[in-house]
Amino acid sequence: QLQLQESGPGLVKPSETLSLTCTVSGGSISSRSYYWGWIRQPPGKGLEWIGSIYYSGSTYYNPSLKSRVTISVDTSKSQFSLKLSSVTAADTAVYYCASQEYSFAILDYWGQGTPVTVSS
């Protein structure tokens, strides 16, 4: 069974770049059955899909965040990463990574989530 684990700084200054990494275990990040996605949840609010990446490097981003988001993959390390630039307090959230099953279009395995606060 897939396991995902987020890692990265819990505090980022305004205008800087938020960087997180997700490590995948229990399966291959190069599986043709999965995309790998990032989702966030501001405190007390709902879920927002940020974007996803295929092992080949193909990416898809939420149009509302597209200008600030970069998702990359390192298959040799079984990791994929999120960079969100020019952050503001509105980017404060719990950030989740998840496996995005290709055939049924669902997020079936999730990391535990990592809280990120944007503050000076």
User: Among 1, 63, 76, 120, which residue interacts with other proteins (rule: CB under 8 A)?
Assistant: 63
Using CB under 8 A as the binding rule, whether residue 105 contacts other proteins is answered as: yes
Residue-by-residue DSSP string for the chain: --EEEEES-SEE-TTS-EEEEEEEESS-TT-TTEEEEEEEE-TTS--EEEEEE-TTS-EEE-TTTTTTEEEEEEGGGTEEEEEE-S--GGG-EEEEEEEEETTTTEEEEE---EEEEE--
31 scored as a contact of other proteins (CB under 8 A): no
**How many residues lie near other proteins (CB under 8 A)?**
22
Q: Which of 88, 104, 119, 120 lies at the binding interface for other proteins (CB under 8 A)?
A: 104
- The footprint of other proteins (CB under 8 A) covers 37, 46-49, 52, 60, 62-64, 96, 98, 100, 104-108, 110-113
